[in-house]
Amino acid sequence: MALYAREEAVASSNQAFYSLSVTSGWSGTSGLPWADEVTDLLDEIAIERLPAHLTERRRAELEKRRSERDRRERERQQASERMARFGDDVEAGLREHAATLSDAEREQIEQDISTLHGPYSTQAWALRNVLTAAATEPEGDDVGASDPDEH
């Protein structure tokens, strides 16, 4: 109930600053599929049973949080659609196409990897390594070739 208390008249040091969070897993992992909905369900119960003037501030916060979650979901969907061009095995697809990607495409793919897998997951690390390894490898045709004028 601390989330619904109006604490404007209370000194900052005595305010609750309480928040309830149930996470769906570490960044880039999957946890319980309903974990994101737990706090929303608790809020729905509180809003249903408490007077409107007590829940006004919290309802505004919830709306902001829902719109942020919707935005993140849209970003994940767009990133997933962009990464689909590499096929079901994204790592193999990246390895195959990495040499032909422009710098802007590489940057977008790195953002998509972070969006889909989290910035520090092992999957993101593996995909970034494939992307950067292909960018730094010399092309097969130029290896061993030399300019006769250099000698």
Looking at residue 12, its pLDDT comes to: 77
Is residue 109 predicted with pLDDT exceeding 90? Answer: yes
Segment of 3-12, 38-47, 102-111, 130-139 carrying the highest mean pLDDT? 102-111
For the whole model, what pTM was predicted? 0.62
Q: How far apart are CA 102 and CA 107, in angstroms?
A: 9
The pLDDT mean for the chain works out to 80
Tokens standing for 18? Answer: 């309480």
Q: How many CB atoms lie within 10 A of CB 98?
A: 19
Contacts 24+ apart (CB under 8 A), 76-79: 76/115, 76/116, 79/111, 79/112, 79/115, 79/116
Q: From residue 89, give the alpha-carbon distance in Å to each of 94, 96, 103.
A: 9, 11, 22
Is the separation of the CB atoms in 55 and 47 below 8 Å? yes
Confidence of residue 149 (pLDDT cuts 50, 70, 90): low
Angle at 63 between CA 59 and CA 67, to 5 degrees: 170
- pLDDT tens by residue, 28-53: 455 666 776 787 888 889 889 988 88
Looking at residue 24, its pLDDT comes to: 58
**pLDDT over 70 for what percent of the chain?**
68
SS3 of residue 36 by DSSP:
helix
- pLDDT tens by residue, 137-147: 665 544 444 45
Is the separation of the CB atoms in 4 and 46 below 8 Å? yes
